[in-house]
Amino acid sequence: MRQAALLASVAAIAAALLTDVTVAGQEPGAGSAFVAFRVDFNHVIATFKVMDTSAKQVTDGLSAEPMARFGYRYFDPPAPWREQGAAAMRAGDRWLIHSAPGQAFQAETERIVGGNAGCQNAIGALLRVVPEQSDTFTGLPAKYFLAERSMTLQPSKAELGSSVGIAPSPSTAEFRRALESTLNALLVRELPRVLADAAPELARAASSPVAYRRSWARRQQAIDEAMQSGRGELTYDIQSFRLAPDGVLLHFVRAEWTVHRRQGFAASLWLRGEQPLEVIQTNLRAASWLRMFEFQGKVAREHLGLILNIFDRNHDGWGEVLLAQGGYESMDISALEYSPTGFQPTGIKYAYGC
């Protein structure tokens, strides 16, 4: 199966596309769950709150870089930060770190920490995996987790299995044809709307007194004309999972169409089954961003979405997906639970930006 090449890096975009960058409605308490990232082999940070910064960011006393890309270096937070986001937290608090479907580790709060998340302030807890489980945790490849407060340690819960998990993607010629037909049908259906939405901005750029804006508009218009005439070349990558009790495969697909190696259209989709394929969810934001001057016709894989981990915290056979979604100089990492009606937000979220 054809695999998508790595997409180019991101530039800035209009402020209207800012991802929400405040974690709201997650006051710490017993049973609260938070997105956590790996700091080192035996520590993670669970972020409670991200706040707008009103002063110069902290640059002294920073820790080493975390192992997780979407993490931050930590430091001792000022007292007002603790009052805003961690007043109820204490060293020694007990946690479960969910690392995979049916797998969790016991941990304790080592201390409360602050961090520079993008251009904002973050407050969270540095959690240490208990010594008797640290060797196993060290060997895990995962860098992102869900950390859940626990009034008592629950070793039996950590040992329960789950039918949720990663699955091999179908590789038959029939499946590939069905998938590519679904993707090309999406392009035919959605390209006219995306082009119509982008037309006013392209027209303004084409008549701009600034030469490089006019040049960008001409280049983008040429790509759009090629896409309309069917000259876009499709590439894609696919990840498959079992996220429901019925065991039917769900597929996360990132797709792009290029014209002479320049991106002309991009989308991500959730699909269900094999033949026929059912479209569960579609994200076309990247296709629109390609036609904004600030992006210069380039989007990265994170703008199409990155699956960081999957879970089944309550062991009911309905999986939770930890999805990273890039925005305008921002990142949103959210846990979404699959259900009979599709993906639903859980309220567990870590987001930051500039």
Same structural domain, 59 and 92: yes
Point out the domain boundary residue: 150, 181, 199.
Answer: 150
DSSP states along 29-46 = -TT-EEEEEE-SSSEEEE
Of 203, 195, 182, 179, the closest CA to residue 229 belongs to: 195
Q: Which helix (H) or strand (E) holds 24?
A: none
Residue 134 within a domain? yes
Q: What angle do CA 193, 198, 199 make, to 5 degrees?
A: 100
Same structural domain, 143 and 260: no
Residue 85 within a domain? yes
Share of the chain above pLDDT 70, in %: 88
Same structural domain, 106 and 181: no
Residue 291 within a domain? yes
| Number of helices and strands in the chain (H, E) | 7, 16
Residue 199 has phi, psi (to 5 degrees) of -55, -45
Same structural domain, 276 and 226: yes
Q: Is the dihedral of CA 188, 192, 198, 202 positive or negative?
A: positive
| pLDDT number for residue 30 | 38
Same structural domain, 95 and 225: no
Higher pLDDT, 354 or 144: 144
Same structural domain, 61 and 103: yes
Strand 94-100 versus strand 249-259 pairing type: unpaired
Cα separation, 170 vs 178, in Å, equals 11
| pLDDT number for residue 79 | 86
Share of the chain above pLDDT 90, in %: 76
| pLDDT number for residue 132 | 97
**Which residue is listed with tokens 């308490």?**
29
Cα separation, 10 vs 7, in Å, equals 9
Domain count across the chain: 2
Residue 94 within a domain? yes
Same structural domain, 102 and 185: no
Helix 211-228, helix 173-206: angle, nearest 10:
150
| pLDDT number for residue 162 | 85
| pLDDT number for residue 25 | 33
Residue 194 within a domain? yes
Q: Is the dihedral of CA 44, 301, 353, 120 positive or negative?
A: positive
Same structural domain, 137 and 286: no
CATH number at residue 70: 2.40.30
- For 7-43, what is each residue's pLDDT tens digit? 333 333 333 333 333 333 343 433 489 999 999 999 9
Do the beta carbons of residue 202 and residue 292 sit within 8 Å?
Answer: no
Same structural domain, 226 and 141: no
> Domain range for residue 110?
31-150
Residue 16 within a domain? no
Residue 91 within a domain? yes
Same structural domain, 283 and 174: yes
Same structural domain, 228 and 85: no
Cis peptide bond prior to 192, omega within 30° of 0: no
DSSP symbol at 191:
H
Residue 217 has phi, psi (to 5 degrees) of -65, -40
Distances, alpha carbon 25 to alpha carbons 28, 33, 51, 281, 349, in Å: 9, 12, 13, 26, 10
Residue 5 within a domain? no
Same structural domain, 141 and 181: no
